[in-house]
Structure 1
Amino acid sequence: MTAARRFITVVDAVNRRVGRITMYGIFVMIGILLWSSVSKVFFLPALWTLESAQFAMVAYYILGGAYAIQLGSNVRMDLLYGAWSPRRRALVDAFTIFCLIFYLVVLLYGGIGSFIYSLQYGGERSPTAWRPYLWPIKGIMVTGLILMLLQALSEFTKDILRLRGEDI
């Protein structure tokens, strides 16, 4: 089981670092939206602010998703879950994690296809007045989905180890 523990350690460390850095993305969004408000009042409205804020928000929640899974800050129905033993929780989590993994694989499949499309055809651009390239945000989305998938597999491995009675 040393390979499983090494996998857990590496994935958790990477997602912790990415998540801790991503937390500061909120300040990027605040700056963009503040500039948007100031420019609309005092200057000509900037064309890039709305779309940049949307891209920053996508990067914020996609890259922070794996860290949220790691911290267990996802929504659970604690009505029953809270009263269960740690072994039963691990059993239910090991079963339900497959739904998450399936969902992430489907999203990743679509995300990779969309990312490749935006690179192949001369750099796909947004149809707005600003017309930014879309491949950077699509690349961030694919990266975030990979990190979430790896974290889901790490959580599944932790559940298996708990079911075997091992300490994590």
Structure 2
Amino acid sequence: MNFIAWTIVACEIGFWVVILAGLVTRYLFNRKRLGLFFLALTPVVDLVLLLVTAADLYNGATATQVHAIAAIYLGVSIAFGKSLIHWADERFVYYVKKQGPKPARRTGWAHAKHSLKGSLQHVLAFLIGGAFLAAMIYVINDPAKTEALSGMLKLWAVILGVDFIISISYFIWPRPAKAN
């Protein structure tokens, strides 16, 4: 695995480490402001990845699928970051602090609407990550060196379409409640 791939792995781990540090500091040590500081570090992790990827390409590397995944990671992290933190926060309070209501499993229309909201966030992630991919393609300006980026952008567009089809299907066939 190359340096960029390891950087993506490190950034993903770093993302969850700062979230966990924020939740532990916030709820177990009762330091709300310090916990918020840790949670606010998640965009810094994204910035590190962006800088490392841009530097690698600037130094003449041929764009690979790993570079494309870095752009996708950035888009997903920015678009889904707040909802991922909320998801983790809700579960931390219930499972670790043993407080608050149990996170509910959505069913029916609530699940369909939530899934559609996720698909709309996916569109935002696509726009952000796609802009990074398009910018890399434009700056490099060599189709032979950016073929992996173009291919990943097309694949991601297909995945986005499938995501929407799945979300729409929940309106037609709502997720049933589990039988007790």
Superposition TM-score tier, normalisation by shorter sequence: 0.3 to 0.5
* TM-score, normalising length: structure 2: 0.36
Of Structure 1 and Structure 2, which has the larger fraction of its residues in helix? 2
| Structure with larger RCO (C-alpha < 8 A, sep 6+) | 1
* TM-score, normalising length: structure 1: 0.38
